[in-house]
Chain A
């Protein structure tokens, strides 16, 4: 499998996801499930093909992490849909996935087969994959927060509950990603935490989501402040993921440069 065939896999997966989103709008659940799952299967087949042909997990470059993100966003979408039957969630996940697919088509950033020794570890795949899944869930939570802040009084208890659930599961995966990283770092470098700029931002992001969790417990009625906290948290998360490459404080220092 080569990168050249990405556009064909992406087009067919996106067509299925769009169809699934339309079915969801019309409240035809079977169609929504079948189409979305078919799209996910096609997209995963491409990732698997890349994995086999590159002889390493496609997780090393920024473009490759975006590939997983475009895969996990519909996965998160279908999980939320199956649990809450929320009509527009599949449209949102499809749209977000398309954005990342387009970025990848315009700026592939897929490199050679080479994987430097430090990345050859059983921790590599779980560390990045759980992070990408968490980013997808927390992205969905952010959209919910924006939606709720725009609609203000029309916000329902169900919407608040969906947001809470997305954050709980997203934060759990964020914690997995961070701790897998610590365990891996201990095996690779002898230290589990060095306050490398990426680690600093990961800690900041994690703390922000903890603020959300505790704020929801402390003042359940003040969901609007909690929504603002979610937006700030997601900004931190974006800085941690890719924004850090543009920060003068992190340039050239971080071991997480890719």
Chain B
């Protein structure tokens, strides 16, 4: 143990140490508060993370632990801890609200956050290492490791900037007030007027399609007529408008339609990461799988 080169065992001990650190934080500062990462804090944290990773890479020959972090031996225990915590999250009912929750509020559990951060740092370092030794055959590795880091880091840091509002529009009355989950009022800078609520049902009266024929008026003078329905949102001025609900008692005669307005400024980065992971998965089966031996 601790004799160089380090391998998987050392990783399990380091991961165990990180989990202890997480438990210490959980006891002292309480659960992770993700709203802390709201703009511009997330940008600051991102820059800090980039400097940290760049600096660590520069010091890799001076500091053995960094050299080790770039190998698959370090990835195994980290992934195993992440899998274990995620399995626990799947087994234990997850609850909302205050009180001492620990494992039943896994997303706010420090050890969970720290292990995932550790995973992102390891993956980013490995990607950087492969990137700087640029060769065409490194592309699949790069797509997978950088893709997952871009997707997860921007999803996590961007989460606090995501705005989700509910807007209820009655027929013929333009509505510009929307409400967040705490029933606080917001003005998203656009108004929705419902012209017609469309509802089709199957013979047994279960819903087949519900849609809203609407006009959207924006502060900068746009006037857009469109039909919004489930799986077919409308994009206006950085907002995505989703068909959310209607008066379920009245069905087709519903006098109003409820929309969900979502703004997610980091989504482009998440999509970039997802796109890289999809290409990476194609590479995984075409180029990365061990070659068959001749029989």
Contact = CB atoms under 8 A, between A and B. Distances in A.
Interface in B67-93: 71-73, 75-76, 79-80, 82-83, 86-87, 89-93
Interface stretch (A6-14, A69-77, A190-198): A190-198
Interface stretch (B55-63, B248-256, B276-284): B276-284
A190 B262 contact: yes
B202 A211 contact: no
Interface stretch (A26-34, A60-68, A215-223): A215-223
A152 to B, nearest CB: 21
Nearest to A83: B292
B93 A112 contact: no
B290 A165 contact: yes
Contacts of A116: 206-207
Q: Determine the interface band of chain A, counting residues with CB < 8 A from chain B.
A: 35 or more
Given A161-B290, A190-B240, A219-B73, 13 more contacts: A84-B295, A117-B207, A161-B293, A179-B281, A187-B231, A188-B230, A190-B262, A207-B79, A207-B82, A211-B79, A214-B72, A215-B8, A250-B90
B47 to A, nearest CB: 24
B289 A249 contact: no
A69 to B, nearest CB: 20
24 contacts: A85-B295, A117-B209, A117-B210, A121-B231, A165-B292, A168-B290, A175-B278, A175-B281, A176-B278, A179-B274, A189-B242, A190-B242, A190-B262, A191-B164, A204-B90, A207-B86, A210-B79, A211-B80, A218-B7, A218-B73, A219-B8, A236-B83, A244-B90, A247-B91
B181 to A, nearest CB: 13
Contacts, number: 146
A189 B245 CA distance: 12
Interface of B: 7-8, 71-73, 75-76, 79-80, 82-83, 86-87, 89-94, 107, 155, 162, 164, 202, 204, 206-210, 229-233, 240, 242, 260, 262, 264, 267, 270, 274, 277-278, 280-282, 284-285, 288-290, 292-293, 295
A102 interface: no
A191 B267 CA distance: 10
Interface string A162-191: 001100110111011001001100111111
A204 B88 CA distance: 9
B71 to A, nearest CB: 7
Interface in A217-247: 217-219, 236, 239, 244, 247
